[in-house]
Chain A
């Protein structure tokens, strides 16, 4: 009877532990609810164009996301082993800056990992800034206007409209609430094992006392 009682308490404690941590995850770390399969939307250019950006210049891309969770925006940049940095600033249609991310050309992925919820169908603005402090120019890839990703609306270099579409891939996380169950089970298992470990330690202590 005592054993059943302990077992029940252990399960309730583990479930509580699991629920608390899953709720925290749901509220504050939605990026960890992304499913492993990604929906990458990219253009398929027949003819690549290369645009050289001097330090202090920027390009702007207006786009309409197709899915709810934007993991990142990957930029076609000619790979160079230098410390040049590109900054990506994501704003909504009202001009409010939502996220700002950066990468150096020495990094593996040329991607701004925004990791945020977006509204499919609404227009967003991405400013790709090439700050003054960079030592040399950077070359970004563009292509035919009609061959860009489906998200593409228009592009600008500085204030001037660009005739090409930028070589941009939109990476979406496929959000799944099923992952909440997975996380809950992991935390539940953690709680269960923690409880077992405590019980194990307590029983050893009791044994020692009896001895």
Chain B
């Protein structure tokens, strides 16, 4: 029985790892994912420069790049490498470190909460840095906590490594780990003063380790302060973040998220009444990160979006697990069993939502096949979509040439189009419209092409995530082959 207890968290973690991996087969690539995949086609200095031009640190892209050395570009591989953050989180942190420190119950509750909520299912295989960010932030929190408890230098060293990795992964992670170090410094100063020097030294080492990126971070902050795509800040959305993270980041708050938010509030109350200080500290770091994001958004420029807070989702999972899992009493089995049952329900709902989502439920596979079978590698495409979406098309067709209708519109449309058609005579030309974010419409471009002596024939249509595409073949009159 004792032996089973030891392996139960590993069995749970492995099952959850398999569960969260099923969206890895998805072939729809949304804009942010396409940005990651296209960026890592460059060499390492290019990736670092590219990340510096954008608004995120480079570590995640470098992880993808390393995976690219083994067998080139593959969407499935990228998705599984991204999922590596969640695997490590569940196996190394959940089933190993958390089990050793807090026991099996806490370990299993951590794994279930973290793994079964929808945001993990959504972000585990999503080609962005969130799963790795969550791993590094939670890892830093656990190692720093272990150092506070045991005073082992190995723990603070690992904590510092995790901290640096988190800081090179996401800027919300920078806020989280900063708060952790401040809390640790205060705690050792008040209770274990003999360790203050080590903590200060650790902090200095982390700062030195981050110096190479500090200048870039400041430049990125200024760039963001000048202009950032995120819409204005709303306190109601901000307040709903813990609920939003249990659901799809695309949908408004629903019953499941609200119920789990209610559960979190109740657990917070019980944690307070039962003096589960380590659990409450997790909430403090999560909430402090939220607050910092909100203050920056209100005082400087909106940088608030709920999915960024996913980097702290492991802290919330740890808070839930420690609060509910460390209760010992005659009836604790019932409440813990009920929580496990509730989380199983959450997992079932998460799976159902994911299966209905366009990530899984789209024509992406047919779209990929269509491109492979019909579109020349060096084809010319006129795209009716915002031009910032070029990464999506670049991802699917790395060597094709794109022109966006909204760019054509900035010139005299017919001149722009005429020049494009003249320059690309003899090449295969396609027109692709995304009906969800079109800029000109088929009638207008059709009329212009007609006037210039071209025809436009519809070939096929596809729904991929966030896009409803129709593909037309453009040919000179008299040369139609399709």
Binding site for B on A (CB under 8 A): 3, 6-7, 10-11, 32-38, 44-48, 71-72, 81, 106-109, 113, 173, 176, 179, 182-183, 185-190, 192-197, 199-201
Min Cβ gap A50→B in Å is 11
Residues of A within 8 A of B247 (CB): 36
Q: Which residues of B contact A36 (CB under 8 A)?
A: 118, 247-248, 251, 254-257, 349, 352-353
Q: B172 CB to closest chain A CB, in angstroms?
A: 18
Q: Which chain B residue has the least Cβ–Cβ distance from A176?
A: B255
**Inter-subunit contact A190/B345 (CB<8 Å):** no
Of the candidate stretches B53-61, B67-75, B147-155, B439-447, the one touching chain A is B439-447
A-B contact pairs, 17 of them (CB 8 A): A7-B330, A11-B334, A32-B259, A35-B256, A36-B118, A36-B248, A36-B254, A37-B353, A106-B232, A109-B252, A179-B256, A189-B263, A189-B342, A192-B334, A192-B335, A193-B327, A193-B335
Which of B88-96, B188-196, B266-274 lies at the interface? B266-274
Contact partner of A188 among B331, B338, B352, B443, CB < 8 A? B338
Of chain A, the residue at the smallest CB distance from B339 is A189
Q: Which residues of B contact A200 (CB under 8 A)?
A: 274, 327, 329
Q: Which of B252, B258, B260, B266 contacts A193 (CB 8 A)?
A: B266
List of A residues within 8 angstroms of B324 by Cβ: 193
Task: Say yes or no: A46-B443 contact (C-beta < 8 A), given A7-B331, A107-B234, A189-B335.
Answer: yes
Residues 252-290 of B at the A interface (beta carbon under 8 Å): 252, 254-260, 262-263, 266-267, 270, 273-274
CA distance A81 to B237 in the complex (A): 19
Residues of B within 8 A of A71 (CB): 252
Which of A35, A37, A47, A179 touches B443 (beta carbons < 8 Å)? A47
CA distance A38 to B356 in the complex (A): 10
Our pick among A3, A37, A183, A189 for the contact of B352 (Cβ within 8 Å) is A37
- Which B residues touch A109, using CB under 8 A? 252
Pick the contact of B255: A45, A183, A189 (CB < 8 A): A183
Interface residues of B in 310-354 (CB under 8 A from A): 324, 327, 329-332, 334-335, 338-339, 341-342, 345, 349, 352-353
Distance A36 CA – B260 CA, assembled complex (angstroms): 13
> Which chain B positions have C-beta within 8 A of A46?
435, 441-443
Across-interface contacts of A193 in B (CB, < 8 A): 266-267, 270, 324, 327, 335
A69 to chain B, nearest CB (A): 11
- Once A44-B468, A48-B441, A179-B255 are accepted as A-B contacts, the answer to whether A196 and B262 lie under 8 Å apart by CB is no
Contact pick for B329, options A37, A81, A199, CB 8 Å: A199
**By the criterion of a CB under 8 Å from any partner CB, how many residues of chain B are at the interface?**
47
Q: Does the CB pair B335–A47 fall under 8 Å?
A: no
Structural contact, A3 and B330, CB atoms closer than 8 A: yes
Interface Cβ pair total, 8 Å cutoff:
119
Determine the chain B residues whose CB is within 8 A of the CB of A192 once the complex forms: 331, 334-335, 338
Using CB atoms and an 8 Å cutoff, list the residues of chain B in contact with chain A: 118, 231-232, 234, 237, 247-248, 251-252, 254-260, 262-263, 266-267, 270, 273-274, 324, 327, 329-332, 334-335, 338-339, 341-342, 345, 349, 352-353, 356, 435, 438, 441-444, 468
Given contacts A6-B330, A32-B259, A190-B263, contact A197 B232 (CB under 8 A): no
A189 to B264, CA, bound (A): 11
When the two chains form their complex, are residues A10 and B331 in contact, meaning their CB atoms are under 8 A apart? yes
Residues on B with C-beta less than 8 A from A48 are: 438, 441
Smallest beta-carbon distance B193→chain A, Å: 31
Q: Chain A residues near B331 (CB, 8 Å)?
A: 7, 10, 192, 195-196, 199
When chains A and B are docked, how far (Å) is the Cα of A201 from the Cα of B272? 13
Q: A residues within 8 A CB of B252? A: 71-72, 109, 113
B353 adjacent to A185 (CB under 8 Å): no
Query: Do residues B262 and A45 form an inter-chain contact, with CB atoms below 8 A?
Result: no
Q: How far is the CA of A34 from the CA of B258 in the complex (A)?
A: 10
Which of B327, B438, B441 makes the CB contact (< 8 A) with A196? B327
* Beta-carbon contact of B345 and A197 below 8 Å: no
A130 to chain B, nearest CB (A): 19
Residue pair B273, A47 in contact (C-beta under 8 Å)? no
Query: Which residues from chain B contact A108 at a C-beta distance below 8 Å?
Result: 231-232, 234, 237
A35 CA to B332 CA, complexed, in Å: 30
Residue in B252, B257, B274, B356 whose Cβ sees the most chain A Cβ within 10 Å: B252
Closest to B231 in A: A108
A182 x B270 contact (CB < 8 A): no
A14 CB to closest chain B CB, in angstroms? 9
Q: For the complex, what is the distance from the CA of A46 to the CA of B254, rounded to whole Å?
A: 32
Q: Please determine whether A196 and B329 come into contact, CB atoms closer than 8 angstroms.
A: yes
- The closest CB in chain A to the CB of B355 belongs to A37
List 11 additional contacts besides A7-B330, A200-B327; criterion CB under 8 Å: A36-B118, A44-B468, A45-B441, A47-B441, A107-B232, A108-B237, A109-B252, A185-B338, A185-B341, A192-B338, A201-B273
What is the minimal beta-carbon distance from B80 to any residue of chain A, in angstroms? Answer: 26
For B349, the chain A residues whose CB sits under 8 A away are: 36
Residues of A within 8 A of B260 (CB): 186
